[in-house]
Structure 1
Amino acid sequence: MNVMGDVLIPAVVFFGMYHIIKLISEHLLKRKLIKAEQYDKAGILEPPKSVSEEGNKYPSLKWGLVALMSGLGFIIIEVMRLVNPNLIDYHNAVLPIGILLVFVSLGFLIYFFIMNGRKKQ
């Protein structure tokens, strides 16, 4: 096994254990506070933090644009591979990942500009 795996696996295990213990301890603490009728300290009566209504108004548009641009990115990758097979090697997949990330980012940017245009109107 390589050195990265020797460090990464225990780190992930301990990170997961830490979060599970933290989740359980917070639950038990809130339960004790609720039983002691200390609702304000437990934080259960606070309204949830609302997301901007305008930003959450068109979630299907956002994910539709991201899916469209991701598909377009995959098509561009495949066309580039068919035109020049030596250009994209799937064993060294940095270029295809870069192309895909650029297209996904373009999808989010298009959504951002559409939403900013609607706010100004």
Structure 2
Amino acid sequence: MKSLAPFIVMIAILISLSVIIVVITNYNLKKKILNKENIDDKMYIILNNLTGFNTEMLKWGIILLFGGIGLIVLEFLPHDENTPLPYGVMAVFVALGFLTYYFMMKNQKK
């Protein structure tokens, strides 16, 4: 498990960089669209699609939060090297993250 730490950190850095790049490019695109004088219906559709990114960030934030909680639980849970227990614990916590996001979105649409 200790040899996975640098790999996980690199993945987290790459994901963070990609999220930052997407947020900056979406902001620049919205700014250019709003600075244009004549905005037609197609532009409003593009603007509405760009605002859906906030729920994507929420989803991945919740999933990563629950994944981190799963890793913390695994640190304190005694287990053998050859047991599939860590995979099951991580799967359960990531699934809880997905379910939490699903129920949050379901309640928000009501």
Name the TM-score, length of structure 2 as normaliser: 0.50
Identity of aligned residues (%): 44
Deviations 1:94-114 (A, max 9, x none): 101000000000000000000
CA 1:71–1:80: 2 relative to 1, 3 Å = same
Cα shift at 1:58: 0.2
- Matched residue SS, 2:77: helix
Aligned length: 62
Q: Give the letter aligned to residue 78 of structure 1.
A: E
Unaligned runs of 5+ in 2: 1-48
Higher helix share: 2
Question: How many Å separate the matches in 2 of 1:53 and 1:118?
Answer: 19
| Alignment equivalent of 1:65, drawn from 62, 66, 73 | 62
Cα shift at 1:89: 1.3
**Runs ≥4 residues deviating over 6 A:** 52-55
Unaligned runs of 5+ in 1: 1-51, 82-87
Q: What RMSD over aligned residues (CA atoms) do the two structures have, in Å?
A: 2.1
Name the TM-score, length of structure 1 as normaliser: 0.46
2:80 aligned partner: 89
Name the larger-Rg structure: 1
For 1:27-66, what aligned pairs fall within 5 Å after superposition?
Answer: 57-66=54-63
| Alignment equivalent of 1:98, drawn from 75, 88, 101 | 88
Question: How many Å separate the matches in 1 of 2:108 and 2:102?
Answer: 10
